[in-house]
């Protein structure tokens, strides 16, 4: 405990500088909240059986029935009557889905099936990326080569056209017309792009989406190509026609040829988390965007009217686009977008409103089927599955991403705005991703979180009952106060105030709190600390004039507290003691006399060591004396110096100056004759 000195014995001090550690306007230890107020906020978490609307929050999604496929991804598909054919990777296999069951049908040479088309006889035509061969798989699963296309590395799309097939290829961007019965092919159109990537029948003409130079071209019956739209980006991945508009899914940084380099692997992408495993922490007050397609390669949906108008409908919220489908359920065109990342399906109305309709466990939605009333089928990658859409989800729950604080926090109330039955739970821990060290899910007690204090929190809201909807969610928390840290305390001679000492210290507060200081001192060896001032200060420098301090060695203690911005019961502090510093204002005593041709003597100091003795003869420049024991390091030191050579006989004066460790000089004048 510090003891206040009598006023007459206190040090005179002048404060010269403000502390650099001023607390920010919004303090970390003050109450704060994570807020979920729109679709973008909710989409950062996990949506299980929920749709996320931009302004209306979360509601129960349509139901999904999942059919697993033993493959990494479904790259292409085609329907033939009641059968759904699937072309997969990273082993090129064909599967058939029929009557709710999936069956492996054939194995093709290569890594990824590029395109499929029905052969009209119970089999399919197929291509494999990285190969120029067009294959046929008959109804019994036998694989044969139909034709090899010249100067082709990839066959990206197949489109039946009467008794022939059109094949979109790359590199070179050529479209070939194949006659399967004659096993022949001829060049039908040249797009003069890197890749002809996708084909869409459009009345009597054919639309081609390209890559490298992303465009939509119209091919007439003779194969003449006319460009009707071009886009910024890298590729036109998918095309759809609805009414008087053509919709194009354009990716900004995807490389279509990348698929051709994929190799078979025993591990399915995404099965161990990978890039999709860890969710980013939600910081601060719950703002931040998740749309616009900025994540992982911007994707966008464009609309091209038959009168030539061209405009971007919306940016894909899930980044890279797998496929689109368009339908009209009575409220105008709805564009369903399969995300190439994070397994999400978005639904846009073409007027700026985009909602997340599904959030699948798989990493990518690469195929979508839609009927007049909405989406009917989803095809995925990371890993492969077929989802049939019908009814309503059996379970609807929102799980927030891991909400992270900078330190241990105490959790408060959860405010939920919505309708229907909303059941709220929480869990807390110290790791991201979540592991077994986290606390179990616990329901709220009233509105308050029951999970123990930690650095991270998750909240889960389960929706049940008709019309259940979660519009807004706020989770309150407060950081537990952390003690400030004193990093150094130093006392040195003041360069700008001769004879004074400068005390400086550096402190920081992990919560950004404003700090208060108390500085005390004591003589080394004493147990009593003496105050330097009347109250706490908010500075980090003091200039000390030690006129009232007896000579000796001292220590300075600085105590720091965050009490200015915390309740007394919660304020925390720490202290640090400087290294010893010297107060020595007494001058050394010097005795000297001439003995023969040498001037010798003794210098003494009561407090600090003699470090130097100099002599000036008759006002000439001073010369250093030699220590009697070879080194000036004690408080009593003998010294001597020879008379300067050539000193003329007569009366002379020697000025002897002894300097102690505090820099104080003692002087004596010695008159002598030689």
Coil, strand or helix at 274: helix
**Cα atoms found within 13 Å of the Cα of residue 274, Cβ hemisphere only:** 15
Better pLDDT: 309 or 545? 309
| β-sheet bridge partners, residue 201 | 206
Residue 614 pLDDT > 50? yes
Q: Express each pLDDT in 56-76 by its tens digit.
A: 899 999 999 999 999 999 999
| Of the candidates 124, 41, 181, 39, the residue with the CA atom closest to the CA atom of residue 475 | 41
Whether the CB-CB separation of 11 and 532 falls below 8 Å is answered with yes
| β-sheet bridge partners, residue 653 | 671
| Of the candidates 207, 211, 210, 191, the residue with the CA atom closest to the CA atom of residue 199 | 207
pLDDT at position 29: 64
Contacts of 541 (CB under 8 A, 6+ apart): 15, 16, 17, 502, 503, 504, 505
Question: CA 29 to CA 623: how far, in whole Å?
Answer: 64
Q: Express each pLDDT in 247-290 by its tens digit.
A: 999 988 544 434 434 444 333 222 233 333 333 233 333 322 22
Mean pLDDT, rounded, of the chain: 86
Which backbone phi and psi does 259 adopt, to 5 degrees? -60, -30
Question: CA 239 to CA 230: how far, in whole Å?
Answer: 13
**7-27+481-583: CATH superfamily:** Immunoglobulins (2.60.40.10)
Burial class of residue 538 (count of CB atoms within 10 Å of its CB; 0-12, 13-18, 19+): middle
Question: CA 558 to CA 580: how far, in whole Å?
Answer: 14
User: Can you spell out the DSSP letters for 30-86?
Assistant: S-EEEEE-SHHHHHTSEEESEEEETTTEEEEPEEEEEEE-SSSEEEEEEEETTEEEE
| β-sheet bridge partners, residue 274 | none
Residue with tokens 């405009």: 311
| β-sheet bridge partners, residue 193 | none
Which backbone phi and psi does 276 adopt, to 5 degrees? -95, -5
Question: CA 401 to CA 420: how far, in whole Å?
Answer: 23
Residue with tokens 């790259």: 75
Question: CA 319 to CA 340: how far, in whole Å?
Answer: 7
pLDDT at position 425: 98
Whether the CB-CB separation of 199 and 191 falls below 8 Å is answered with no
For residue 547, what pLDDT band results from cuts at 50, 70 and 90? confident
**Cα atoms found within 13 Å of the Cα of residue 396, Cβ hemisphere only:** 24
For residue 319, what pLDDT band results from cuts at 50, 70 and 90? low
79-93, 271-285, 647-661: least confidently modelled range: 271-285
Identical fold at 7-27+481-583 and 589-673? yes
Query: What kind of architecture, by CATH, is found in domain 32-50+396-479?
Result: Sandwich (2.60)
pTM for the predicted model, two decimal places = 0.66
Rg (CA), the chain: 42
Residue 126 pLDDT > 80? yes
| β-sheet bridge partners, residue 101 | 98
Choose which CATH entry (2.60.40.650, 3.20.20.70, 3.40.50.10470, 2.40.30.10) describes domain 589-673: 2.60.40.650
Contacts of 184 (CB under 8 A, 6+ apart): 147, 178
| β-sheet bridge partners, residue 344 | 359
The distance from CA 284 to its chain's CA centroid, rounded to whole angstroms, is: 13
Helix (H) or strand (E) holding 346: strand 344-348
Cα distances (angstroms) measured from residue 184 to each of 180, 201, 220, 408, 467: 7, 22, 21, 71, 59
Q: 322-349 in b/e burial notation, b at 16+ Cβ within 10 A?
A: bbbbbbeeeeebbbbbbbbbbbbbbbbe
| Of the candidates 160, 177, 309, 173, the residue with the CA atom closest to the CA atom of residue 244 | 309
Residue with tokens 């019965």: 181
Cα distances (angstroms) measured from residue 354 to each of 38, 57, 426: 12, 12, 29
Question: CA 501 to CA 495: how far, in whole Å?
Answer: 9
Which backbone phi and psi does 275 adopt, to 5 degrees? -70, -15
DSSP code, position 150: T
For the chain, the straight-line distance linking the first and the last C-alpha, in angstroms and rounded, comes to 64
H runs (alpha helix) in 67-198: none
Q: Express each pLDDT in 211-230 by its tens digit.
A: 999 999 999 999 999 999 99
Question: CA 23 to CA 509: how far, in whole Å?
Answer: 8
Question: CA 461 to CA 418: how far, in whole Å?
Answer: 11
Whether the CB-CB separation of 320 and 354 falls below 8 Å is answered with no
Mean pLDDT of 564-571: 90
pLDDT at position 16: 26
Question: CA 371 to CA 657: how far, in whole Å?
Answer: 105
Contacts of 187 (CB under 8 A, 6+ apart): 174, 175, 176, 177, 223
pLDDT at position 267: 32
pLDDT at position 51: 92
Residue 376 pLDDT > 90? yes
Helix (H) or strand (E) holding 653: strand 651-660
Question: CA 473 to CA 444: how far, in whole Å?
Answer: 14
Given the DSSP bridges, would you call strands 636-642 and 598-604 parallel, antiparallel or unpaired? Answer: antiparallel
pLDDT at position 343: 85
The distance from CA 122 to its chain's CA centroid, rounded to whole angstroms, is: 51
pLDDT at position 299: 85
Question: CA 280 to CA 489: how far, in whole Å?
Answer: 40
pLDDT at position 543: 85
Q: Express each pLDDT in 454-483 by its tens digit.
A: 999 999 999 998 889 999 999 999 999 989
Q: Express each pLDDT in 419-452 by its tens digit.
A: 999 999 999 999 999 999 999 999 999 999 999 9
Domain positions in the chain:
7-27+481-583, 32-50+396-479, 589-673
Question: CA 94 to CA 87: how far, in whole Å?
Answer: 5
Question: CA 128 to CA 130: how far, in whole Å?
Answer: 6
Whether the CB-CB separation of 195 and 203 falls below 8 Å is answered with no
Coil, strand or helix at 548: helix
Coil, strand or helix at 185: strand
Q: Express each pLDDT in 15-58 by its tens digit.
A: 222 222 233 333 546 789 999 998 889 989 999 999 998 888 99
Residue with tokens 């107020």: 37
Opening angle at CA 629, ends 626 and 632, nearest 5: 60
For residue 318, what pLDDT band results from cuts at 50, 70 and 90? low
Question: CA 92 to CA 131: how far, in whole Å?
Answer: 12
């Amino acid at each position: 405990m510090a003891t206040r000195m009598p006023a007459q014995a206190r040090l005179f001090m002048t404060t010269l500088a403000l502390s650099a550690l001023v607390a920010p306007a919004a303090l970390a230890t003050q109450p704060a909240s994570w807020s979920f107020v729109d679709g973008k906020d909710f989409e950062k978490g996990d949506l299980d059986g929920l749709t996320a609307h931009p302004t209306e929050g979360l509601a129960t999604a349509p139901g999904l029935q999942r059919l697993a496929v033993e493959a990494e991804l479904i790259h292409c598909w085609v329907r033939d009557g009641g059968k759904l054919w699937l072309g997969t990777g990273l082993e090129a296999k064909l599967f058939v889905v029929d009557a709710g069951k999936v069956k492996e049908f054939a194995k093709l040479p290569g890594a990824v099936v590029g395109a499929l088309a029905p052969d009209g006889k119970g089999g399919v035509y197929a291509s494999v990326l990285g190969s120029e061969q067009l294959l046929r798989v008959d109804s019994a699963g036998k694989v044969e080569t139909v034709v090899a296309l010249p100067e082709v590395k990839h066959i990206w799309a197949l489109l039946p056209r009467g008794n022939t097939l059109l094949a979109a290829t790359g590199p070179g961007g050529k479209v070939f017309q194949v006659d399967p019965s004659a096993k022949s092919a001829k060049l039908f159109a040249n797009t003069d792009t890197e890749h002809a990537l996708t084909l869409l029948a459009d009345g009597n003409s054919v639309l081609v989406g390209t890559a490298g130079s992303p465009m939509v071209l119209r091919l007439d019956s003779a194969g003449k190509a006319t460009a009707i739209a071009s886009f910024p980006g890298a590729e036109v991945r998918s095309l759809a026609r609805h009414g008087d508009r053509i919709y194009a899914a354009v990716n900004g940084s995807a490389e279509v040829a990348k698929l051709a380099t994929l190799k078979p692997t025993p591990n399915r992408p995404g099965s161990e988390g990978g890039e999709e495993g860890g969710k980013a922490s939600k910081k601060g007050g719950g703002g931040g965007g998740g749309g616009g397609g900025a994540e992982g390669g911007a994707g966008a949906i464009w609309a091209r009217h038959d009168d030539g108008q061209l405009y971007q409908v919306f940016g894909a919220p899930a980044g890279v686009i797998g496929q689109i489908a368009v339908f009209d359920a009575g409220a105008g065109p709805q564009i369903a977008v399969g995300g190439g990342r994070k397994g999400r399906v978005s639904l846009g109305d073409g007027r700026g409103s985009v909602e997340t309709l599904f959030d699948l466990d798989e990493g990518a939605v690469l195929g979508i089927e839609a009927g007049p009333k909405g989406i009917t089928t989803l095809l995925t990658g990371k890993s492969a599955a077929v989802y049939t859409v019908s009814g309503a989800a059996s379970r609807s729950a929102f799980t927030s991403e891991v909400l992270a604080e900078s330190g241990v926090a105490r959790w408060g109330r959860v405010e939920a705005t919505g309708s229907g039955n909303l059941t709220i739970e929480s869990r807390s821990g110290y790791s991201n991703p979540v592991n077994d060290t986290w606390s179990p899910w616990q329901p709220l007690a009233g509105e308050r979180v029951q999970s123990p204090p930690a650095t991270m929190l998750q909240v889960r809201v389960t929706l049940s009952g008709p019309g259940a909807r979660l519009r807004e969610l706020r989770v309150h928390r407060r950081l537990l106060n952390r003690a400030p840290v004193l990093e150094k305390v130093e006392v040195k001679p003041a360069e700008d105030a001769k004879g004074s000492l400068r005390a400086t210290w550096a402190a920081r507060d992990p919560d950004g709190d404003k700090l208060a200081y108390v500085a005390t001192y004591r003589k080394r060896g004493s147990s009593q600390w003496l105050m330097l001032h009347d109250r706490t200060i908010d500075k980090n420098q003091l200039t000390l004039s030690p006129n009232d301090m007896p000579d000796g060695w001292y220590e300075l203690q600085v105590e720091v507290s965050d009490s200015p911005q915390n309740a007394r019961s919660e304020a925390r502090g720490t202290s640090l003691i400087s290294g010893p510093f010297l107060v020595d204002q007494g001058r050394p005593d010097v005795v000297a006399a001439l003995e023969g041709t040498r001037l010798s003597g003794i210098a003494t100091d009561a407090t600090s060591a003699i470090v130097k003795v100099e002599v000036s003869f008759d006002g000439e420049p001073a010369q250093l004396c030699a220590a009697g024991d070879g080194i000036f390091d004690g408080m009593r030191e003998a010294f001597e110096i020879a008379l300067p050579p050539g000193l003329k006989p007569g009366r002379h004066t020697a000025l002897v100056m002894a300097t102690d460790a505090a820099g104080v000089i003692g002087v004596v004048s010695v008159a002598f004759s030689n």
